[in-house]
Amino acid sequence: MHIKKRINNILISQPLSTGNNTPYIKLSKNKNVNIDFRSFIEVKGASSSDVRRQKINFSDFTVVLFISKKSVDHYFRLAKSMRFKVPISMRYVCQTKTIAYYLQKYIVYRKRKIHIGNKSFKDLLPYVKKYSKDKFLLPSSDILKTEIPDMLNRQNIFWRRAILYKTNSSDLSDLKHIYYDILVFFNPAEIKSLFDNFPNFDQNNIKIATFGKNTLDAAYKAGLKIDIKVPTPEFPSMAMALEKYIKKLNTIRY
């Protein structure tokens, strides 16, 4: 009889989502595995003076490009602290429906002009091209996919990037002697945080799961062996891929 190495403990490198219906909680119960959540990164918001040093004046722009919910939060936080009253005429371009719906936290949805992409940033380019006479602001963190500025630069438009928050590595020193069977990563900054905290990290038998091409590339660049790559046509979500992987490894073969 050959018994595969069981998966007992998983670390998700992000905080637990609000609510008890997260798919990871269901996965933990259904597969009898322990799943811990720990944010590998910390977000620090820029100050009003940081924005001014970038020579950004919110009133100069007629369209805001939102690529994450965090960029929404920090744009409106800084608009308030800088006493900039966002005009009703402001247009918003959101990369996903999730980001667009999140805008309702700050605006009266029906009164604003909102364009929603399908998934990737390139889906927004037809709108950008259509309103090429407008002035576009791209709020972002200090980490930004290089293809986004490249795509905007090719549109022959007026646009500026505003770094409104920075991503720093969390202190993970308390995890030094804790062992996990699978480490799950969702962005390159989390890979960086792993090695910032543990420069001599040795993967050994630890399985690595990554979400998205940029995270996968960062993991490969760091010398990690990747066992679970998401998304795929079969497994669009990380929870689905983990469930299949756990089922495979936690099965006894005779």
pLDDT 10s digits, 215-250: 999 999 999 999 999 999 999 999 999 999 999 888
* Spatial distance between the Cα atoms of 242 and 211, rounded to a whole number of angstroms: 11
Q: How far is CA 234 from CA 68, 96, 186, 238, 244, in A?
A: 25, 22, 18, 11, 10
- Of 147, 167, 187, the one marking the end of a domain is 167
Q: Are residues 113 and 214 in the same domain?
A: no
The answer on 160 and 105 residing in a single domain is yes
- Has residue 1 got a pLDDT over 80? no
Confidence band for 254, pLDDT divided at 50, 70 and 90: very low
Same domain, 53 and 153: yes
Question: Closest Cα to residue 57, out of 35, 78, 39?
Answer: 78
Using pLDDT thresholds of 50, 70 and 90, give the confidence band for residue 16.
Answer: confident
Same domain, 68 and 108: yes
Residue 20: pLDDT over 60? no
- Give the start-end residues of each E strand in the chain: 2-3, 9-12, 34-37, 41-45, 63-66, 91-94, 113-116, 135-141, 158-169, 182-185, 207-211, 228-230, 252-253
Q: Does some domain include residue 174?
A: no
My answer on whether 190 and 114 are in the same domain is no
Q: How confident is the model at residue 76 (pLDDT cuts 50, 70, 90)?
A: very high
Output the six-digit token pair for 69. Answer: 């919910």
Domain membership of residue 32 (yes or no) is: yes
Evaluate whether residue 214 is within a structural domain: yes
Do 195 and 217 lie in one domain? The reply is yes
Residues 14, 87 within the same domain: no
Write down how long the chain is: 254
Among candidate residues 145, 167, 189, the one where a domain is terminated: 167
Share of the chain above pLDDT 90, in %: 81
> Which residues are within 8 A (CB) of 154 and not within 5 positions of it... i.e. 6 or more apart?
none
Residue 59 counted as domain residue: yes
Q: Is residue 14 assigned to a domain?
A: yes
Domain boundary among 109, 136, 167: 167
Residues 86 and 142 in one domain: yes
The CATH number of whichever domain residue 231 belongs to comes to 3.40.50.10090
3-state secondary structure 212-237: CHHHHHHHHHCCCCCCEEECCCCCCC
| Range(s) of the domain holding residue 106 | 44-167
| 172 lies in some domain | no
Query: Is 252 in a helix, a strand, or coil?
Result: strand
Q: What is the pTM of this model?
A: 0.76
pLDDT at residue 22, rounded to an integer: 82
Per-residue pLDDT tens over the stretch 93-142: 999 999 999 999 999 876 668 899 887 899 999 999 999 999 999 999 99
30 and 57 fall within a common domain:
no
Torsion angle (degrees, nearest 10) of CA 206, 211, 215, 217: 80
Question: How many separate domains does the chain show?
Answer: 2
Phi/psi of residue 176, nearest 5 degrees: -55, -40
Q: Is residue 26 part of a domain?
A: yes
Pair 120, 29 in one domain: no
- In a domain, residue 156? The reply is yes
Q: Are residues 196 and 220 in the same domain?
A: yes
Whether residues 56 and 74 share a domain: the answer is: yes
